[in-house]
């Protein structure tokens, strides 16, 4: 599959209507995830999270909310739902419907809704089962002789080669009906590099990819498809290729797809607004509907990577900005390095001289608020800290106006703070902050965030700060 084709598919995937969909689920009393809800918005949605947070349980809850009559609560997995109450918001044949299931009742289904096709795939478990099955069949060749294989055409063979990362010369699929208690079992035989081999000799990753491709061909159109951790046994390159294949099937067959993963390669293919982040704290799971990129990276174990640089005038401006970002845009603290330039002139010269580096490295300057009314080069990426004064002066006014609040924030006595403020009266504003920190035995990295917190509590300042952060974000990441 060409990269440009895959990109076009992802662009169109979230624009088309889906006649049958599960747009939300509310759940209660589910062992392992407790109570909560989730919303889904089309195409391919992903439930992300680390091991043991309840992704599989949530996916199972979605399946059970639609097909409560299939479950008798007789297995260990069923026990998680013995007292569960599930409520699903659906679109069926373009019409809204609700399915409510209370497994604590004799008759679980409380609301009767039209049934829709729903398929749950667990490629890791299925590939192990198939490999074990065919490796133990004594009369395999005799069994295969009774079935006419379907030989993949050039398009399908190219897709399988793309998924697995091998140049297949031929791909055959033997669909064996009613074998060993299964409604249908697939056996694959491929030729690559002049060698021919079947499912029993495939690696688990190669077999899982063939199984997933087979299921994508068979899954009913306009149905709901649930996939459990498709990345298991599969290389990162093939994971990305598989997601492109899933997007292709979703777009072509109008499939509403929800899958679970803890793979960065899987999650990277899906727009972040279609990712739901599941985490576990103190024995209960929490579902985050709109995770930030930094949160997603943390959960998936991806080292944070900087997207750019913000230049500020000095140390105080740096600590002031970091305190604002911590309150209003914490993910920006992890994505942008805040660098002090030393002066207004050095900051502006750095912006003028820095060569264009493309979207992978963004750079902007943030001057103190007292520079707002001065004329600066309009051709550079420049914005301002909140207010009409320097950050030192804003913090000085804050400390004078609320010494009691400052003492509480710092954990210092009111007397110590009052004496320190008295002793630093008359100092130049830039020197004042350093002198106050010295008198109180604190570092600027401790003092400034406390003062910024007090400053934000004053009328109107929170709005000024939010505007300044928004202007900085828009300068770095113009829409």
Q: What is the mean pLDDT of residues 112-138?
A: 84
Q: What is the mean pLDDT of residues 123-152?
A: 91
Read off the pLDDT of each residue in 145-157 and give the average, rounded to a whole number: 93
- At residue 67, the pLDDT reads 72
Q: Look at residue 284 in the predicted model and tell me its pLDDT.
A: 67
458-466 average pLDDT score: 94
Cα–Cα distance for residue pair 476/308, rounded to 1 Å: 8
Any residues with CB less than 8 A from the CB of 275 and at least 6 apart, and which? 45, 46, 48, 267, 291, 296
- Please give the pLDDT value at position 69: 54
Query: Would you say 214 and 149 are in contact if contact means Cβ atoms under 8 Å apart?
Result: no
What is the reported pLDDT for 282?
65
What is the pLDDT, as a whole number, of residue 182? 61
For the cut 70, the answer to whether the pLDDT of residue 248 exceeds it is: yes
For 4-14, b where at least 16 C-beta lie within 10 A, e where not — what string? eebeebbeebb
Question: Residue 70 has what pLDDT?
Answer: 53
pLDDT confidence bin for 333, thresholds 50/70/90: confident
Most confident of 70-84, 354-368, 413-427: 413-427
Residues in the chain, how many?
Answer: 479
pLDDT at 475 over 80: yes
Number of H helices, E strands in the chain: 19, 18
Q: For residue 470, what are its two tokens?
A: 């928004």
Radius of gyration of the chain (CA): 30
Main-chain dihedrals φ then ψ at residue 197, nearest 5 degrees: -150, 165
| Whether the predicted pLDDT of 1 surpasses 70 | no
Edge to edge, what strands does the sheet with 168-179 contain? 150-151, 168-179, 182-192, 195-198
Distance CA(19)–CA(23), nearest Å, equals 12
How far is residue 444 from each of residues 32, 315, 393, 394, measured CA to CA in Å? 44, 8, 15, 15
pLDDT above 90 for 246: yes
Residue where the block lists tokens 């520079």: 371
Give me 375's structure tokens: 């004329």
pLDDT digits (tens, 9 = 90+) for 41-96: 888 999 998 888 889 999 999 998 887 555 555 566 778 888 889 999 998 888 89
The domains found in the chain, sorted by start residue, are: 3-117+221-292 (3.40.50.300), 125-212 (no CATH), 308-476 (no CATH)
Q: What is the pLDDT of residue 351?
A: 92
Residue 348's pLDDT band, with cuts at 50, 70 and 90, is very high
Assigned token pair, 259: 């899958």
Task: State residue 462's pLDDT score.
Answer: 95
The pLDDT of residue 250 is above 70 = yes
Please compute the mean of the pLDDT values over residues 157-176 and round it to a whole number. 94
Region 295-322 average pLDDT: 86
- 133-137, 342-346, 412-416: segment of lowest average pLDDT: 133-137
Which of these ranges, 64-68, 107-111, 120-124, 298-302, has the smallest mean pLDDT? 107-111
Lowest mean pLDDT among 143-152, 272-281, 406-415, 460-469: 272-281
Report the pLDDT value the prediction gives residue 75, as an integer from 0 to 100.
67
pLDDT class for 400, splitting at 50, 70, 90?
Answer: very high
Quote the DSSP letter at residue 426. Answer: T
More confident residue, 340 or 49: 340
Is the pLDDT reported for residue 109 higher than 60? no
Answer yes or no: is pLDDT of 421 > 90: yes
Pick from 305, 227, 304: nearest CA to 266: 227
Q: Report pLDDT for 112.
A: 46
Distance of CA 464 to the CA centre of its chain: 30
Looking at every residue in the chain, the average pLDDT score rounds to 88
């Amino acid at each position: 599959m060409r990269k440009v084709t895959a990109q076009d598919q992802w662009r169109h995937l979230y624009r088309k209507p889906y006649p049958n969909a599960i747009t939300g689920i509310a759940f209660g009393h589910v062992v392992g995830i407790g109570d909560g809800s989730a919303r889904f918005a089309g195409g391919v949605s992903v439930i992300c999270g680390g091991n043991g947070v309840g992704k599989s349980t949530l996916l199972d809850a979605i399946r059970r909310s639609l097909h409560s009559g299939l479950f008798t609560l007789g297995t260990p997995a069923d026990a998680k739902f013995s007292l569960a109450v599930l409520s699903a918001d659906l679109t069926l044949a373009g019409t809204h419907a609700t399915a409510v299931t209370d497994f604590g009742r004799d008759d679980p289904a409380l609301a009767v809704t039209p049934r829709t096709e729903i398929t749950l795939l667990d490629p890791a478990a299925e590939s192990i089962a198939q490999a074990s099955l065919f490796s133990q069949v004594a009369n395999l060749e005799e069994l295969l002789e009774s079935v006419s294989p379907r030989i993949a055409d050039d398009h399908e063979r190219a897709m399988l080669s793309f998924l697995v990362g091998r140049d297949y010369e031929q791909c055959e699929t033997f669909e064996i009906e009613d074998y060993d208690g299964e409604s249908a079992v697939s056996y694959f035989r491929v030729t690559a590099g002049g060698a021919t081999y079947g499912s029993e000799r495939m690696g688990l990753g190669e077999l899982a990819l063939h199984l997933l491709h087979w299921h994508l061909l068979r899954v009913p159109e306009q149905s709901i498809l649930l996939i459990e951790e498709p990345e298991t046994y599969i290389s990162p390159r093939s994971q990305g290729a598989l997601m492109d294949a899933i997007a292709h099937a979703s777009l072509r067959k109008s499939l509403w797809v929800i899958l679970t993963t803890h793979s960065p390669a899987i999650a990277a293919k899906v727009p972040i607004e279609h990712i739901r982040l599941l985490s576990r704290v103190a024995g209960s799971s929490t579902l985050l509907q709109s995770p930030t990129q930094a949160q997603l990276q943390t959960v998936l174990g991806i080292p944070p990577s900087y997207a750019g640089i913000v230049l500020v005038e000095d140390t105080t401006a740096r600590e002031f900005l970091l305190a604002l970002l911590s309150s209003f845009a914490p993910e920006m603290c992890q994505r942008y390095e805040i660098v002090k330039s030393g002066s207004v002139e050095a900051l502006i010269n750095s912006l003028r001289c820095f060569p264009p580096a493309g979207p992978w490295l963004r750079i902007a300057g943030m001057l103190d608020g007292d520079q707002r009314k001065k004329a600066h080069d309009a051709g550079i990426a420049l914005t301002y800290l909140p207010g009409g004064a320097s950050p030192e002066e804003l913090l000085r006014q804050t400390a004078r106006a609320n010494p009691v609040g400052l003492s509480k924030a710092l954990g210092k006595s009111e007397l110590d703070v009052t004496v320190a403020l008295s002793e630093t009266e008359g100092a130049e504003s830039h020197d004042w902050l350093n002198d106050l920190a010295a008198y109180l035995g604190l570092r600027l990295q401790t003092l400034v965030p406390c003062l910024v917190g007090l400053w934000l509590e004053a009328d109107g300042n929170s709005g000024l700060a939010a505007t300044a952060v928004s202007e900085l974000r828009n300068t770095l990441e113009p829409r």
